């Protein structure tokens, strides 16, 4: 057997081996892709179950083409191009986007050490950013996981008195109890703003919300220099001065990391 013939046989064998590896890799890729699609579909079914609409608890009521009532969720992205961190919002929800960029100047003057920067203060602007057609809103941090039907949260708006326009869960940490110079005022342990019920209609008609949070900032920013927990610091300072406006939600509503 000549050297040239051996080299041809070796090259042919190598090509067959590479082709076999490619086919096996392709099969494994499609298997992985199918498993991911199956996982997303199963998660989608779970999320749809969790987000069943309650006819007594309305955010924005829409009737889809198949006559199934669904949520429309207002989304306020932190910047253009960062609308969704996962595909779930596209799979499960109807959503509307509201651009917060034009409102940022209202909170830009507040010195803030939060890792999210100025966007961590945007919750203070929701009554201005969201349209008047939205009278109530549930505000949720993006890192939350739902363990029950969101309709249970909507039902809690009915527990508010005429004076109450914000609902929160008490903080489980001792952050505001700590005697450190950068702690903002709070009532007891303070409240966690990761889950908030906002009665926007009451906020707009019964109080001057902008003046409330601006006064809270001005009263404390000179002494404390900056906010550490951004909107949570400011909202707790408001509640410290006006506790009657707050509905304290059960700790079962929001399980917090210690």
Task: Examine residue 66 and state whether it is found in any structural domain, yes or no.
Answer: no
Q: Within this chain, do residues 153 and 240 fall inside the same structural domain, yes or no?
A: yes
Q: What is the pLDDT of residue 213?
A: 97
Q: What is the mean pLDDT of residues 175-203?
A: 91
Q: pLDDT of 140-176, one tens digit each?
A: 888 877 777 788 889 999 999 999 999 999 988 888 8
74 phi and psi, to 5 degrees?
-75, 130
Q: Within this chain, do residues 132 and 220 fall inside the same structural domain, yes or no?
A: yes
Q: Within this chain, do residues 230 and 140 fall inside the same structural domain, yes or no?
A: yes
**Structural domain for 3, as ranges:** 1-50
Q: Within this chain, do residues 110 and 43 fall inside the same structural domain, yes or no?
A: no
Q: pLDDT of 23-60, one tens digit each?
A: 677 777 667 666 666 665 665 555 555 444 333 333 33
Give residue 177's pLDDT band: very low, low, confident or very high (50, 70, 90). Answer: confident
What does the alpha-carbon distance between residue 207 and residue 186 come to, in Å, rounded to a whole number? 20
Using CA atoms, how far residue 206 sits from 40, 201, 214, in Å, is 44, 8, 17
* Total number of domains constituting the chain: 2
Task: Examine residue 43 and state whether it is found in any structural domain, yes or no.
Answer: yes
Q: Which residue has the higher pLDDT, 133 or 4?
A: 133
Q: Within this chain, do residues 122 and 235 fall inside the same structural domain, yes or no?
A: yes
Q: Within this chain, do residues 235 and 129 fall inside the same structural domain, yes or no?
A: yes
Q: Which of 3-17, 60-74, 154-168, 200-214 has the lowest mean pLDDT?
A: 60-74
Q: What is the pLDDT of residue 235?
A: 97
Q: pLDDT of 204-257, one tens digit each?
A: 999 999 999 999 999 999 999 999 999 999 999 999 999 999 999 988 777 766
CATH number at residue 207: 3.90.550.10
Task: Examine residue 57 and state whether it is found in any structural domain, yes or no.
Answer: no
Using CA atoms, how far residue 60 sits from 75, 136, 145, 154, 192, in Å, is 13, 9, 22, 12, 25
Task: Examine residue 85 and state whether it is found in any structural domain, yes or no.
Answer: no
Task: Examine residue 56 and state whether it is found in any structural domain, yes or no.
Answer: no
Task: Examine residue 166 and state whether it is found in any structural domain, yes or no.
Answer: yes
Task: Examine residue 258 and state whether it is found in any structural domain, yes or no.
Answer: no
Q: Within this chain, do residues 203 and 118 fall inside the same structural domain, yes or no?
A: yes
Pairing of β 246-249 and β 166-170: parallel
Q: Within this chain, do residues 111 and 19 fall inside the same structural domain, yes or no?
A: no
Q: Within this chain, do residues 113 and 233 fall inside the same structural domain, yes or no?
A: yes
Q: In angstroms, how far is CA 24 from the centroid of its own chain?
A: 41
Give residue 135's pLDDT band: very low, low, confident or very high (50, 70, 90). Answer: very high
Q: pLDDT of 79-129, one tens digit each?
A: 544 444 444 455 556 678 888 889 999 999 999 999 888 999 999 999 999
Give residue 187's pLDDT band: very low, low, confident or very high (50, 70, 90). Answer: very high
Q: Within this chain, do residues 41 and 135 fall inside the same structural domain, yes or no?
A: no
What does the alpha-carbon distance between residue 35 and residue 38 come to, in Å, rounded to a whole number? 5
Q: Annotate the chain with three-state secondary structure.
A: CCHHHHHHHHHHHHHHHHHHHHHHHHHHHHHHHHHHHHHHHHHHHHHHHHCCCCCCCCCCEEECCCCCEEEEEEECCCCCCCCCCCCHHHHHCEEEECCCHHHHHHCCCCCECCCCHHHHHHHHHHHHHCCCCCCEEEEECCCCCCCCCCHHHHHHHHHCCCCCCEEEEECCCCHHHCCCCCCCCCCCCCEEEEEEEEEHHHHHHHCCHHHHHHHHHHHHHHHHCCECCCHHHHHHHHHHHCHHHEEEECHHHCCCCC
Q: What is the pLDDT of residue 174?
A: 86
Q: Within this chain, do residues 241 and 128 fall inside the same structural domain, yes or no?
A: yes
Task: Examine residue 223 and state whether it is found in any structural domain, yes or no.
Answer: yes
Q: What is the pLDDT of residue 41?
A: 61
Q: Within this chain, do residues 128 and 226 fall inside the same structural domain, yes or no?
A: yes
Q: What is the pLDDT of residue 155?
A: 92
pTM beyond 0.95: the answer is no
């Amino acid at each position: 057997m000549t050297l040239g013939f051996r080299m041809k046989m070796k090259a042919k064998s190598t090509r067959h081996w590479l082709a076999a590896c490619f086919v096996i890799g392709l099969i494994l890729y499609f298997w992985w892709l199918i498993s991911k699609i199956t996982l997303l579909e199963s998660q989608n079914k779970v999320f749809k179950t969790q987000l069943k609409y309650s006819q007594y608890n309305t955010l924005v009521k829409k009737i889809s083409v198949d006559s199934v009532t669904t949520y429309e969720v207002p989304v306020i992205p932190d910047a253009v191009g960062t609308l969704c961190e996962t595909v779930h919002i596209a799979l499960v929800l109807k959503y509307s986007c509201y651009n917060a960029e034009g409102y940022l100047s209202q909170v830009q003057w507040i010195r803030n050490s939060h890792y999210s920067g100025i966007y961590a203060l945007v919750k203070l602007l929701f009554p201005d950013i969201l349209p008047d057609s939205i009278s109530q809103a549930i505000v949720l941090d993006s890192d939350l996981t739902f363990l029950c039907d969101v309709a249970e949260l909507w039902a809690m708006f009915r527990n508010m008195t005429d004076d109450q326009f914000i609902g929160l869960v008490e903080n489980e940490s001792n952050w505001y109890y700590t005697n450190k110079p950068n702690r903002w005022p709070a009532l007891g342990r303070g409240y966690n703003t990761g889950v908030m019920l906002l009665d926007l209609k009451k906020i707009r008609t019964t109080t001057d919300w902008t003046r409330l949070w601006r006064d809270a900032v001005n009263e404390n920013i000179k002494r404390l220099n900056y906010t550490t927990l951004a909107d949570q610091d400011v909202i707790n300072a408001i509640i410290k001065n006006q506790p009657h406006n707050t509905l304290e939600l059960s700790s079962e509503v929001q399980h917090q990391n210690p």
